[in-house]
Amino acid sequence: MGYFEEKLKNSEIGLSFDDVLLVPLYSEVKLEEVDTSTRLAPGLVLRIPIVSSPMDTVTGEEMLLAMGRLGGLGVLPRNYPLEQAVQAIRRASEEGVPAAAAVGPFDDDRVRRLLDAGAAMIVIDTAHGHSRNVIEATRRFSGYGAAVMAGNIVTG
């Protein structure tokens, strides 16, 4: 048996949204008793458990602010121009809404600028959250006082 054949045969089962269905059932829970808040990091509680994708076609300043105002978290893309990102994060911070920005594992200066502007979280935007560089970046960025999300792209 070849390497790839064995790897496929022994791989774990993964599910996507199309593979899962939540079937509604009878409930006596009242709407006002439902709490959708979630603690994303120490000191960062969202009223709704929704985080925007850090893609330039999804999150800009307008979406960043809207997500925060509605109780979620907007995340600016890592390729968002730094000065515009700092301005948008600062504006969100002044409004009292949480905002985050994506960075690469070697963007230490960018991280410091975003944190100084009031970023509630730094997202290390990578497909390999379990790689050495990302693990080390997570430690460094946490040392700057950042709440860090790492490996947000399909890292199992």
Alpha helices in 12-102 (DSSP H): 61-69, 82-95
70: number of Cβ within 10 Å: 14
CATH 3.20.20.70 matches 36-150: yes
* Distance between CA atoms of residues 109 and 74, nearest Å: 21
Per-residue confidence (pLDDT) for residue 112, from 0 to 100:
98
Quote the pTM value: 0.82
* Distance between CA atoms of residues 83 and 90, nearest Å: 11
| Tokens standing for residue 115 | 């944190």
Domain boundaries, the chain: 36-150
* Distance between CA atoms of residues 38 and 150, nearest Å: 18
pLDDT tens, residue by residue, 25-58? 999 999 999 999 999 999 999 999 999 999 999 9
